[in-house]
Amino acid sequence: MEQRDAAQDGWLERLQHIDRRYIFLLMAVAVIVPIVLGVRLPVGKPTRPVRLVYDKIDSLPAGSVVLMAYDFGPSSAPELVPMAVAILRHCFSRDIDVVAISFYTVGPPLAQGVLDQVAKEFGRKYGENYVNLGYLPGMVPLLIRMSTDIPGTYKQDYTRTRMSELPLMSRVRSYDDIALVVDLASSDTPAIWITVVNARYQQEVAAGVTAVMAVDYYPYIQSRQLVGMLGGLKGAAEYESLVGRPDEATKRMPAQSFAHGLIILLVLLGNTAYVIARIRARRGA
């Protein structure tokens, strides 16, 4: 009996102090195996914030212009680039033109790569159907100035082409010519779009944010200061399902789900071992 109790105590002790290298190994397996085996999991019914963004863009007439802000860098690209691709596919499939800007210095090249990729799929032409205005510093003053003169604010695009040589920009003078703003962000820039552009100029704004940021923006959807929101990789996968083009986000979701499941399992095991050890210690006392 004493030997069995000692064995159980040893097992509980080891379970509470697992070598972190084993945890890292388990996490690597949980992430790599679904990718290698091509595991697919159902995305499920799109959530209301994602559906709101989709419905808004789907309701826009052909020839409308969507302003997309690429306010993120390479570290957040795995979550936000799939959103950009899915939204661009939706816009271009409905003959909606896109103007891209960024308030991150590393944002414009990321935007250009995504724009060129999706435009090629739909035969869209740079300067006529989409434009990348690039980066300028000073977000708030720029947003205010754009309310009256977008071409005058930027003067030239990311490729150093003058505004007068871009046919699309002859139709986009101010927020009055923008049907929707979509801010894809890894920081608090959506809040600035809401505070300055939505509140001051009644411009409709939607957001795509990283998963850890999503909870901060649900109140803005309830107050209708945000049209809707895509949150993290799951939001991107849901939008891909709505567009009917499962892509990178849908492929990556199983790995993320397995990793989250492993974390939950380890937390449960650790806490269970701790509780049992406490109970046994009290009984022994």
**Residue extents of the structural domains in the chain:** 2-41+253-284, 48-245
Q: Can you give the pLDDT of all 285 residues of the chain as single tens digits?
A: 444 555 555 666 676 677 788 788 888 887 787 777 777 766 778 999 999 999 999 999 999 999 999 999 999 998 999 999 999 999 999 999 999 999 999 999 999 999 999 999 999 999 999 999 999 999 999 999 999 999 999 999 999 999 999 999 999 999 999 999 999 999 999 999 999 999 999 999 999 999 899 999 999 999 999 999 999 889 999 999 999 988 787 887 666 677 778 788 878 877 787 787 777 777 765
Q: Which pair of tokens denotes residue 171?
A: 């139709």
Question: What's the pTM?
Answer: 0.82
Helices (H) and strands (E) in the chain, counts: 12, 6
> Exposed, middle or buried by CB within 10 Å (0-12, 13-18, 19+), for 61?
exposed
Fold held by 48-245: Rossmann fold (3.40.50)
Give yes or no for a contact between 228 and 251, defined as CB atoms under 8 angstroms apart: no
126, 152, 182 from 163: Cα distances, Å: 13, 8, 22
Per-residue pLDDT at 225: 95
User: 96: burial class by Cβ within 10 Å (0-12, 13-18, 19+)?
Assistant: buried
Residue 245 contacts residue 89 (beta carbons within 8 Å):
yes
Give 96-113 as a DSSP string: -EEEEEESSTTHHHHHHH
Please give the single-letter amino acid code of residue 271.
Answer: N
Q: Please, are residues 116 and 85 in contact by the beta-carbon 8 Å criterion? A: no
Residue 96: per-residue pLDDT:
97
Q: In what order do the strands lie in the sheet with 205-209?
A: 130-135, 97-102, 65-71, 180-185, 205-209, 229-231
Rounded distance between C-alpha atoms, residue 19 and residue 190, angstroms: 41
Structure-block tokens of residue 21: 């290298």
| Predicted local confidence at residue 10, as pLDDT | 63
